[in-house]
Copies of this chain bind each other. A is one copy, B any other.
Amino acid sequence: MNIVGLIVEYNPLHNGHAYHFAEAKSLAEADAVVAVMSGDFLQRGEPAIVSKWARTEMALHLGVDLVLELPVAYAVQPAEWFAHGAVATLEATGVVSHLCFGSEAGALEDLQPLAARLADESAALKAAVAEELATGASYPAAYAAAAARACAGPGGDAAAARALLMQPNNSLGLHYLIALRRLHSGIAPLTVRRRAAGYHDAAPQDAAIASATAVRALLAGAGGLEAAAPYLPPSTTAILAREFAAGRGPVTWDSFAQQLFHRLLLCSPAELATHHEMNEGLEYRIKKLLPQLEEATVTQLLKQLKTKRYTHTKLQRTLLHVLLQHARSALSPAVLAGGPGYLRVLGFNKTGRELLKQMKKTATLPIVTRTAGLNNRHLELDLQASAVYANAMPGHDTNDLFRDYRQPPITI
**What residues of chain A have their CB less than 8 Å away from a CB belonging to chain B?**
258-259, 261-262, 265-267, 290-291, 293-296, 324-325, 384, 387-388, 391-392, 396-398, 401-402, 405
Contact = CB atoms under 8 A, between A and B. Distances in A.
- Which of A265, A325, A402 neighbours the largest number of chain B CB atoms within 10 Å of its CB? A265
The 7 A-B residue pairs with the shortest CB-CB distance in the complex, in nearest-first order: A265-B387, A291-B402, A259-B262, A296-B398, A266-B325, A293-B398, A261-B391
Contacts of A324: 266
Nearest to A406: B291
- Which of A266, A296, A384, A392 neighbours the largest number of chain B CB atoms within 10 Å of its CB? A266
Given A296-B396, A396-B296, A401 B261 contact: yes
Given A265-B387, A265-B401, A266-B324, 11 more contacts: A258-B391, A262-B392, A265-B384, A290-B398, A291-B398, A291-B401, A291-B405, A295-B398, A296-B391, A296-B397, A296-B398
B265 A397 contact: no
Nearest to A402: B291
A5 B265 CA distance: 33
A405 B265 CA distance: 13
Given A290-B401, A402-B290, A388 B295 contact: no
A296 B399 CA distance: 9
Contact of A258 (B258, B267, B325, B397): B258
17 contacts: A258-B258, A258-B391, A261-B391, A262-B392, A265-B387, A265-B388, A265-B401, A266-B325, A266-B388, A290-B401, A290-B402, A291-B398, A294-B398, A296-B396, A296-B397, A296-B398, A296-B401
Nearest to A323: B262
A206 to B, nearest CB: 39
B296 A262 contact: no
A322 to B, nearest CB: 11
Contacts of A262: 259, 262, 388, 391-392
A291 B400 CA distance: 10
Given A258-B258, A258-B259, A259-B258, A391 B265 contact: yes
Contacts of A405: 291
Contacts of A325: 266-267
Nearest to A255: B258
Nearest to A268: B380
Nearest to A383: B265
A288 B23 CA distance: 47
A402 B261 CA distance: 12
A295 B402 CA distance: 12
A251 to B, nearest CB: 12
Nearest to A296: B398
Given A293-B398, A398-B293, A401-B296, A392 B258 contact: yes
Contacts of A384: 265-266
A123 B265 CA distance: 39
Nearest to A397: B296
A136 to B, nearest CB: 29
- Which of A324, A392, A396, A398 neighbours the largest number of chain B CB atoms within 10 Å of its CB? A398
Contacts of A296: 391, 396-398, 401
A262 B325 CA distance: 10
A199 B387 CA distance: 38
